[in-house]
């Protein structure tokens, strides 16, 4: 009726959504802590080749500039890595081979222009037995010139 106010209140129970979001946040924090506790540099990419995660050791081994890391500039990071290896053409050919074989497990030696030599271990990242990406781990085999 005119002059009478009508109020409608709609309530939605978001407790299940909140519980899931909290669980995801805890899982993400645990993953980050795990990656940082690993002595190797770790780079995780999805099937499209986009970076989904990495640790600080990876950034240090490849001497990645902070601004690249903050921007999560995938193409720039991959280009930076290509420029750091002693033989960029061979490096890119091998990456193409790895990209073509989703389930490939491999170990490669990467001489860098600095004189350092890295070992790269490549593993498929699986979820419920299906490939969802790739994990690269890097460790120093020989230090470069100081």
Contacts of 49 (CB under 8 A, 6+ apart): 74, 99
Q: Exposed, middle or buried, 81 (CB in 10 Å: 0-12/13-18/19+)? A: buried
| pLDDT the model gives residue 69 | 81
pLDDT by residue (tens digit) across 70-98? 887 899 999 999 999 999 999 999 999 99
- pLDDT tens string for the chain (146 positions)? 678 888 888 888 888 888 777 776 666 666 555 555 567 899 999 999 999 999 999 999 999 998 888 887 899 999 999 999 999 999 999 999 999 998 999 999 999 999 999 999 999 999 888 999 999 999 999 887 65
């Amino acid at each position: 009726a005119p002059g009478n106010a009508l109020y409608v209140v709609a309530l939605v129970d978001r407790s299940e959504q909140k519980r899931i979001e909290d669980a995801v946040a805890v899982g993400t924090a645990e993953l980050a802590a795990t990656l940082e506790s690993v002595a190797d540099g770790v780079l995780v990419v999805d099937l499209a080749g986009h970076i989904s995660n990495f640790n600080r050791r990876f950034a240090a081994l490849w001497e990645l500039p902070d601004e690249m890391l903050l921007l999560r500039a995938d193409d720039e990071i991959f280009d930076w890595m290509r420029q750091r290896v002693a033989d960029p053409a061979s490096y890119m050919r091998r990456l193409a081979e790895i990209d073509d074989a989703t389930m490939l497990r491999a170990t490669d030696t990467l001489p860098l222009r600095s004189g350092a030599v890295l070992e790269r271990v490549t593993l498929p990242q699986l979820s419920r037995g299906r490939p969802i990406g790739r994990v690269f781990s890097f460790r120093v085999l020989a230090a470069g010139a100081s």
